[in-house]
Amino acid sequence: MEFLTASLVGWSRAQFAMTAMYHWVFVPLTLGLGVIMAIMETLYVRTGKEEWKTAAKFWMRLFGINFAFGVATGLVLEFQFGTNWSNYSWFVGDIFGAPLAIEAILAFFMEATFISLMFFGWKKLKPGAHLASTWLTVLGATISALWILVANAWMQLPVGMEFNPDTVRNEMDDFWSILLSPVAINKFSHTVLSGWVLGGLFVTGISGWFMLRRRHADFALRSMRVGTVFGLVASLLVLSTGHMSAYNVAHYQPMKLAAMEAHYEGYEGVELVGVGLLNPDKQSWDDGVQPVVGRIAFPKMLSFLGFSDFNAFVPGIRDIIEGGYVQPDGSVALSFEEKHERGKLAIQALADYRRAMANGDTEAAAVYKEQLRQNYAYFGYGYIDAPEGLIPPVGLTFYSFRGMVILGGWFLLLFAVLGFMAWRRDITRCRWMLWAALITIPFGYLAGEFGWVVAEVGRQPWAIQDILPVQAAISSISAESVKLTFFIFLVLFTVLFVAELRIMVRQIKKGPEVQDDACGTDNVKTEK
Amino acid sequence: MCAGVVCKQVMSVNRNMFRYVSNALAGIRSRMPLGYSLWVIVAVKLFIMFAVLRLFFFPDFLGSRFSSDEERAEYVGGELVVRGQ
């Protein structure tokens, strides 16, 4: 216990956040670009036009580069579970283990098998069989994301399990409620679709660059057209799933919603802050100071987003701490003090149960087990000593949410305008738009990272919502060792990222006329 | 003397194998430079992750300290209780 310091919790969280965010640099492009290259290959198979094959191969080569750099970067997160987060790993073992095992067995092997056929099978497979390999590669990557996101969603909404005090583990008793929980379904769709948006941005941005350089005009226009339509559809779907995300957060993680909006005092018909600055004078959740200044807000929109009702009551941070408001399920919310008390009761019941079992007193053990069961929903609150401990970092969550939404709006507009120009006008004359498409690529990555910050920082202090806070989830190890591995990962991932950028840029500059047989591509010649 | 001959033959086979492998790699490198680079990157990355990081920096905290699941449950249960008191 002497090791269990704020520094250890901070470094463990920082390391996990950093590696997850670097992992998320590689993953979304795999998800998005994969679908686009598969669409282009489908067009080739259906029309027989070699131009589509050339385009599909070009984007497939970039997909391959991204895949090679990204593969296994997620494994380091599992290393951390075993070393830095051992209490958590044990506590959730069966539930977290099942989706990850399915991911490894089904999705990873599916992906690994068909990606080989996709890259090396151009000359060996019939067009239809090759196309099937391409789609199955994309499907494998997407299913892989599904299981990871199901595991993550369970941490946001722990369902389908029962805590076993003998094994000190949450044991799965309903697989389907975990897989089909509203948070899991929405998290999967919103996250994968955001990857599709990035894929659209990447293709339109690179196509714009070719147009700016007046190279490969036909290829660039074809890619631009596919990229804009795909990106526009994905953006509209992201908008829809974003609404559902807000709905889920409002129902299952009200503190996260309150932090996203810096919403301290609840009332009916709450506005949505479009743009605003956090007031630096706001020092505490109960000081009554106005939290946001200089804001532009949309009246009643937060109520609508959260509850599909323009006049719904949205609890603020103060309400969630003080309790007493009616929750969506009709029950009255408990205050922090009450939840803390029940959490303490649950922890004490666990201790008493284990002692009773050790003494062979099964009758007393049964009583304590029932006490634990009745209070288990608040187990994690027993580790939080003050109401401030319940509040996630409001500034980071607030600004990240704004960043994600504003960028999402920009992407939607960009796809719509670029698409119109690419399909109806001569887009090459609008050079500023081509520049805008190119410059927007990194913002696609940034929006995805903002999304993760909102989802993960916004749910602090919970490793598992309401059940296990981060301070109870970490291992009793030295903060120095976590700090050391933090910097090792930082260097490793930065090197990987820079190397990927260099190789990617070099391959893009070569254009679709490929000299390299690297990814099973042959010597395609296209017009300059 | 016999051992010396065998030893020379083994070394010769090793040299031939090394030459064969290096020629094959050089061939792959010249024919598909991108693919070669990507395979090298993947191999180096996996080596660093599993042979260095996993082995030396990320031991299984519970697995390395306890020999049975009962002991692990006992430890984690104790930790959860102590941290909550």
Q: Which of A13-22, A35-44, A102-111, A246-255 has the lowest mean pLDDT?
A: A102-111
Q: Is residue A451 a contact partner of residue A195, using CB atoms and an 8 Å limit? A: no
Provide the chain A residues 398-417 that lie in CB contact (below 8 A) with chain B.
Answer: none
To 5 degrees, how large is the angle CA A12–CA A459–CA A408? 105
Q: What is the mean pLDDT of residues A274-299?
A: 91
**Residue A213 scores a pLDDT above 60:** yes
Assess A89–B contact: CB distance below 8 Å, yes or no: yes
Three-state secondary structure readout of A224-290: HHHHHHHHHHHHHHHHHHHHHHHHHHHHHCHHHHHHHHCCCCCEECCCEEEEEEECCCCCCCCCCCC
Q: What is the pLDDT of residue A514?
A: 57
pLDDT value at A283 more than 70: yes
pLDDT in tens, A410-462: 999 999 999 999 998 888 888 999 999 999 999 999 999 999 999 999 999 99
In this structure, are residues A383 and A336 in contact, taking their beta carbons and an 8 Å threshold?
A: no
CA A446, A452, A455, A461 torsion: positive or negative?
negative
Q: Which of A86, A399, A15 is nearest to B61 (CA)?
A: A86
DSSP letters of B1-65?
-HHHHHHHHHHHHHHHHHHHHHHHHHHHHHH-HHHHHHHHHHHHHHIIIIIIIIIII---HHHHH
Q: Which of B56, B75, B83 to mutate to test the interface with A (most CBs of A within 10 A)?
A: B83
Beta bridge partners of A292: A278
Residue A1: the pLDDT is 44
- The partner residue sitting opposite B77, judged by closest CB among A86, A168, A477, is A168
**With the CA atoms of A114, A119, A124 and A128 taken in that order, what torsion angle do they form, in degrees rounded to the nearest 10?**
60
pLDDT band per the 50, 70, 90 thresholds, residue A3: very low
What is the predicted pLDDT for the residue at A6?
67
Question: What value does the mean pLDDT of chain A take?
Answer: 91
Per-residue pLDDT reduced to its tens digit, B18-60: 887 777 777 777 777 788 888 888 888 889 888 888 888 899 9
3-state DSSP assignment of residue A103 = helix
Mean pLDDT, rounded, for A290-318? 94
B80:A484 CB<8 A: no
A 279-298 residues with CB < 8 A to B: none
Residue contact B32–A481, C-beta within 8 A: no
Query: What whole-number distance in Å separates Cα of residue B64 and Cα of residue A317?
Result: 42
Q: For residue B16, give every residue at least 6 positions away whose Cβ sits within 8 Å of its Cβ, in sequence order, or none.
A: none
Q: What is the mean pLDDT of residues A505-516?
A: 80
Tell me the per-residue pLDDT of A474-499, one tens digit each, with 9 for 90 and over.
999 989 999 999 999 999 899 989 99
Q: Does A496 touch chain B (CB under 8 A)?
A: yes
B80 CB-near residues (< 8 Å, 6+ apart):
A87, A91, A168, A347, A350, A472
Residues A439-451 have pLDDT tens digits of: 999 999 999 999 9
Q: How far is C-alpha A408 from the chain's CA centre? A: 15
Q: Are A276 and A294 in contact (CB under 8 A)?
A: yes
Give residue-wise pLDDT tens across range A114-129.
888 898 888 889 999 9
Residue indicated by tokens 């385009």:
A55
Q: What is the ipTM of this complex?
A: 0.83
pLDDT band at A523 (very low <50, low <70, confident <90, very high): very low
In degrees, rounded to 5, the angle at the alpha carbon of residue A478 between the alpha carbons of residues A477 and A479 is 115
- How does DSSP classify residue A331? P
| A292-298/A267-268 β-pairing | unpaired
Q: A436, A411 in Cβ contact below 8 A?
A: no
The count of C-alpha atoms lying within 13 angstroms of the C-alpha of A512, restricted to the half-sphere facing its C-beta, is 28
Longest CA–CA separation in chain A, Å:
84
Q: What is the reported pLDDT for B3?
A: 64
A267-268 vs A169-172, strand pairing mode = unpaired
Chain B interface, best mutation among A353, A502, A516, A523, by max B CB count within 10 A: A516
Does A519 score more than 90 pLDDT?
no
Q: Are B39 and A54 in contact (CB under 8 A)?
A: no
Q: How many Å from the N-terminal Cα to the C-terminal Cα in chain B? A: 76
% of chain A with per-residue pLDDT over 90 = 78
Helix, strand, coil tally for chain A in percent (to 5): 70, 5, 25
Closest CA to A92 of A164, A181, A184, A143: A164
Q: What is the pLDDT of residue A379?
A: 96
pTM for this prediction: 0.89
